[in-house]
Structure 1
Amino acid sequence: MTYDLIIIGTGAGGGTLLHALAPTGLRMLVLERGGHLPREKENWNPASLFVDERYTADERWIDADGKPFRPGIHYYVGGNTKFYGAALLRMRARDFERVEHAGGVSPAWPIGYDELEPYYTRAEHLYRVHGERGADPTESPASAPYAHPPVSDEPRVAEFRADLRAQGLHPFPLPMAIMLDEARPERSACIRCDTCDGFPCLVEAKADADVIAVRPSFAYDNVTLLTGAYAARLLTSPSGREIAGVVVERGGATETYAAHVVVVAAGAVNSAALLLRSADERHPAGIANGSGVVGRHYMCHNNSAFVAISKKRNPTKFQKTLGLNDFYWGSPEFPHPMGHIQMLGKSHAAEFRGDAPAFAPGIALAQLAEHALDLWITSEDLPEPQNRVTVARDGTIGLHYSANNVDAHQRLIAKLKELLERAGCERHLLPNALYLGKKIPIAGVAHQNGTVRFGTDPATSALDVNCKAHELDNLYVVDGSFFVSSSAVNPALTIMANALRVGAHLAARFGAAETAHAA
């Protein structure tokens, strides 16, 4: 069979695109290299996740120095959204423009915020985002309110919010994608537990791509999902203008599938790797890589997990309800963008074990967790061509990355420390043996983007504004690869919104094709 559409990957991009196109009747084959994530007690066991790495892919990539590392990536239906923190924020309108940073320039996108805005709204409604318009002083205009009210603070977080407001700041309800009904808790799927951020949801109340987008698509008999299906390479036609086949390794066998349109949505690292390892006579540098940009300009944000020690106990269960963007665009003393601050899911003693001295008793780590206020700090990194994905002859993925625009991130951390000292936290946040803040290392690929950038010029971009490859007539990329800059907010909502935008384009494309076939 030749399908109308093959989608490679079921995460924020591929899963959302599937959901958009499933009702059209198009014959779709969806390829997922992983399986369905098992529902088991270990889903909520911090040691299983953060010490044993039970669900992390068992593979090794190579850094720029040739050292192997285990990437924090997950291959399951729903992709990394099975483990994401479910905070879904829009990029600011100014993020789509050229922005001067302390460390360089963030380039303009080929589309503006206004073009993506209707799809942001659709994505927020699809993924059940709870939030409040107007509370974030940096937010851009929206065409509709959130469909669900903001998630309420628990008492210690409410006190922290009040302390920030007393300092003249504007903390806002963090937009969260969860199936929560606080007005009718007996009907709520979400139980406001302390195992949400970074955990798979055992009660399936996190609005991830699997639960929200992929599973409802099974209601349509035009959708076929193959799990355990690794897309090994793409084959091109004699002209080199079309993808003629997708070579899949599954169950020890090699199979080839064909479709009128192929959509790659394997994540910014694996999508770039697939295009690179598919090089052939017509595309010697890799599929869609005549510009040489495929695999380059990798971004993942300057991210730090930060622990403040509250003078009061913090018995909060669901802690991720507060965001702060007052320094997103800078401050009077530093007129450059700094970034975004948000609460993290509540920490557990097991999460501190890797940073604690070997002699630290478990009871001390438990007491540390009881007083912890956990925060996540994101600053924009810039698209440098030397930050890139490579593929060795044996297929091993290389990820070469050096952080940039770091000064802005350090200044944001310094700002946060000042705020915390005036917000009921210990002045010396942690003993010297532990981290005050933990910079996320190269293995932290949750925010990966930028490796197959889109644009109007085929000489400097791989994709056009509809995310179709400039050099091929039937190849699209709809994960975070298409980004040309990373902004300073989680990329997931922008990936979802863009998938809906590309879905509308593909529906129109197939509508014209179907009319022609019928004639």
Structure 2
Amino acid sequence: MTESYDVIIIGSGAGGGTLAHGLADSGKRILLLERGDFLPRELDNWDPKPVFADGKYISKDTWYDRDGKAFQPQVHYFVGGATKLYGAALYRLRPQDFEEIKHVSGISPAWPLSYDDFEPWYSKAEQMYQVHGNGGEDPTEGHRSEPYPWPAVSHEPRIQELYDDLGKGGYHAFHAPCGIMLDEADRPRSTCIRCTWCDGYPCLVHAKADAEVIAVRPLLDRPNVTLLTGAEVTKLETDGSGRTVTGVVVSRNGEREVYQGDIVAISAGAANSAKILLNSANDTHPNGLANGSDQVGRNYTFHNCKAIVSLSKEKNDTIFQKTLGINDFYLPTKDYQWPMGNIQMIGKSNAEAMRGEQPEKTMFAPEWTLSDVAEHAVDWWLTTEDLPVPENRVTTDSGGNIHLAYSSTNDEEADRLYGELKKVLNHVGMAAHHVLRKNFYMDMAIPLAGCAHQAGTCRFGADPATSVLDVNCKAHELDNLYVVDTSFFPSIGAVNPALTAIANALRVGDHLLSRMA
């Protein structure tokens, strides 16, 4: 028997979990489908060996590159989605990111909406996810209608020293926006114990502002909200006209189940959302659902990133390191006509994480040598915008498996940003030690595996010929289908995409409340 709901949401991460939270007070019957389960709270959450070296929380999926070579993607399927292991760096896109930007490798297209359109939703998202920050420090940030709800997380002594030295050198370092449950003014009431296990780890004490803790858990006792875990959506069915989704087909506990919703919202991640639509092809939509434009799966982006470990003579005993960012090179400078991107700090190095990241280089290294390196390490994350290219795309084969064709863009800008970081490090008495391309967690043989910031496979826009979704993230070709994860991005900018996904889910949720009313 097909069960019916007012709204079915596929995926419980930054998009889907937030959307469910925004709709819950309406009283409408909401079904939240998550293919994973709750991530267990266990000591392994904070153990770098199972997290980094063993990849305990990484999915067992197999994807294929453009040549048919299999790889294991660095994706996570849990209640809360990818946010369960994200670093909770919750940046707004810069105002210029919503406009057309010229890059060395091509054009980053304009969005159909502006920064001003998104700004109120950014403020709501920051309030909801308890973002800590200081407005006005970063000269590239846009205007704010409201201040951050919490003051920025303070720098620990070694990072404060770097912050001060950067200021003396003419750089505009700022306190990075962090989503954590931390009240430094009233520490006994704080959930966060300010530990090093934030970036890339689950939070054992539920102090990270992830979608499970912030958005989903508060709904579990609501009579109008149903969460089903272990529920992988395999396809969507439509009526004869192809204009209405009439069935959400789920594989659960080895059984086929079908659910019906007046409104269906997909938020499965850019690759998996495209997979669902492509695998839902029927007579009316022979190339995949909502794919009359042939844009579903195209324009896959996931940032051109480098992780840097820098070393100095001084020991770095910092515990929570993700408090500093630099955007001096985000936009063109007087010395370089192209945007380069964002510099921020990442979680503190440790010996086990290094073994996981560089297994071949560290295989024979004694533990004490890696520990000594980690004691002197300061860790950085460099992000350059990856351009939307139609040939960078998700497709599926006859078995429904994901194939990901991808070539990197803006490599020159990324290399230039690394050069600027080396100048910064020289100024503060450090040197770059090594680079890991694309993926901080493991040095994979191919860069496709590091897909934490994936976006762009169902871009929104005003023209149905060149986009999949309209400005409210409804599929142009269907009356009741929405996509609310980062798939809707026309471009990805050069900062972490999570806050924009959260803000957009709140925006789309407001639209759906009006529609259902």
Q: Is the 8 A contact 1:312 1:424 kept in 2?
A: no
Question: Per-residue deviation at 1:424?
Answer: 2.1
Specify the alignment match of 2:210 in structure 1: 208
Question: Per-residue deviation at 1:438?
Answer: 3.7
Spell out the pairing of 1:87-98 with structure 2 (5 A cutoff): 87-98=89-100
Specify the alignment match of 2:418 in structure 1: 413
Q: Is the 8 A contact 1:99 1:107 kept in 2?
A: yes
Q: For residue 442 of structure 1, give the secondary structure of its aligned residue in structure 2.
A: helix
Rounded to whole Å, the distance in 2 between the matches of 1:413 and 1:71 is 26
Q: How many residues align?
A: 505
State whether structure 2 residue 464 is matched by structure 1 residue 458.
Answer: yes
Q: Aligned match of 2:80 in 57, 63, 78? A: 78
Provide, for residues 408-440 of structure 1, a one-character-per-residue CA deviation record: whole Å limited to 9, x for no partner. 1110000001110111214xx33xxxx345443
Q: Is the 8 A contact 1:288 1:294 kept in 2?
A: yes
Over 3 Å counting, the alpha-carbon distance change for 1:450 and 1:417 in structure 2 is: same
Provide, for residues 390-421 of structure 1, a one-character-per-residue CA deviation record: whole Å limited to 9, x for no partner. 11111211111100111111100000011101
2:175 corresponds to which letter in structure 1?
A: P
2:418 corresponds to which letter in structure 1?
A: I
Specify the alignment match of 1:61 in structure 2: 63
State whether structure 2 residue 17 is matched by structure 1 residue 10.
Answer: no
Q: Aligned match of 1:483 in 472, 489, 492? A: 489
What's the C-alpha RMSD, in Å, of the aligned pairs?
Answer: 0.9
Q: Aligned match of 2:479 in 448, 473, 480? A: 473
Q: TM-score when scaled to structure 1? A: 0.96
Rounded to whole Å, the distance in 1 between the matches of 2:121 and 2:44 is 36
1:500 corresponds to which letter in structure 2?
A: L
Specify the alignment match of 1:514 in structure 2: none
Spell out the pairing of 1:387-406 with structure 2 (5 A cutoff): 387-406=392-411
Question: Per-residue deviation at 1:145?
Answer: 0.2
Q: Is the 8 A contact 2:290 2:476 kept in 1?
A: yes
Specify the alignment match of 1:359 in structure 2: 364
Q: For residue 50 of structure 1, give the secondary structure of its aligned residue in structure 2.
A: helix
Q: Which stretch shows the higher mean deviation, 353-362 or 383-392? A: 353-362
Q: For residue 211 of structure 1, give the secondary structure of its aligned residue in structure 2.
A: helix
Provide, for residues 219-250 of structure 1, a one-character-per-residue CA deviation record: whole Å limited to 9, x for no partner. 32100010000001000101110001000010
Specify the alignment match of 1:284 in structure 2: 286
Rounded to whole Å, the distance in 1 between the matches of 2:349 and 2:365 is 17
Specify the alignment match of 2:516 in structure 1: 510
Question: Per-residue deviation at 1:336?
Answer: 1.1
Question: Per-residue deviation at 1:306?
Answer: 0.7
Specify the alignment match of 1:386 in structure 2: 391
Specify the alignment match of 1:127 in structure 2: 129
Q: Which stretch shows the higher mean deviation, 475-484 or 361-370? A: 361-370
Question: Per-residue deviation at 1:362?
Answer: 1.4
Q: TM-score when scaled to structure 2? A: 0.97
Q: For residue 152 of structure 2, give the secondary structure of its aligned residue in structure 1.
A: coil
2:474 corresponds to which letter in structure 1?
A: K
Rounded to whole Å, the distance in 2 between the matches of 1:469 and 1:27 is 22
Spell out the pairing of 1:84-483 with structure 2 (5 A cutoff): 84-353=86-355, 354-355=357-358, 356-426=361-431, 429-430=432-433, 435-440=434-439, 441-483=447-489
1:478 corresponds to which letter in structure 2?
A: V
Rounded to whole Å, the distance in 2 between the matches of 1:436 and 1:386 is 27
Question: Per-residue deviation at 1:187?
Answer: 1.1
Rounded to whole Å, the distance in 2 between the matches of 1:408 and 1:160 is 25
Provide, for residues 63-106 of structure 1, a one-character-per-residue CA deviation record: whole Å limited to 9, x for no partner. 11211111110000000000000010100111101111111110
Q: Is the 8 A contact 1:71 1:445 kept in 2?
A: yes
Q: Is the 8 A contact 2:295 2:458 kept in 1?
A: yes
Rounded to whole Å, the distance in 2 between the matches of 1:330 and 1:45 is 41
Rounded to whole Å, the distance in 2 between the matches of 1:150 and 1:18 is 28
1:474 corresponds to which letter in structure 2?
A: N
Over 3 Å counting, the alpha-carbon distance change for 1:192 and 1:3 in structure 2 is: same
Rounded to whole Å, the distance in 2 between the matches of 1:373 and 1:424 is 12
Q: For residue 410 of structure 1, give the secondary structure of its aligned residue in structure 2.
A: helix
2:44 corresponds to which letter in structure 1?
A: E
Rounded to whole Å, the distance in 1 between the matches of 2:82 and 2:109 is 27
Question: Per-residue deviation at 1:34?
Answer: 0.3
Q: Which stretch shows the higher mean deviation, 219-228 or 465-474? A: 219-228
Q: Is the 8 A contact 1:204 1:211 kept in 2?
A: yes
Q: Which stretch shows the higher mean deviation, 59-68 or 355-364? A: 355-364
Question: Per-residue deviation at 1:380?
Answer: 0.3
Q: Is the 8 A contact 1:130 1:147 kept in 2?
A: yes
Rounded to whole Å, the distance in 1 between the matches of 2:366 and 2:392 is 40
Q: Is the 8 A contact 2:306 2:435 kept in 1?
A: no
2:473 corresponds to which letter in structure 1?
A: C
Question: Per-residue deviation at 1:358?
Answer: 2.6
Rounded to whole Å, the distance in 1 between the matches of 2:296 and 2:438 is 27
Q: Is the 8 A contact 1:57 1:72 kept in 2?
A: yes
Q: Aligned match of 1:492 in 475, 498, 503? A: 498
Rounded to whole Å, the distance in 2 between the matches of 1:293 and 1:437 is 31
Q: For residue 52 of structure 2, give the secondary structure of its aligned residue in structure 1.
A: helix
Rounded to whole Å, the distance in 2 between the matches of 1:207 and 1:359 is 38
Q: Is the 8 A contact 1:306 1:438 kept in 2?
A: no
Q: Is the 8 A contact 2:438 2:450 kept in 1?
A: no
Rounded to whole Å, the distance in 1 between the matches of 2:364 and 2:55 is 22
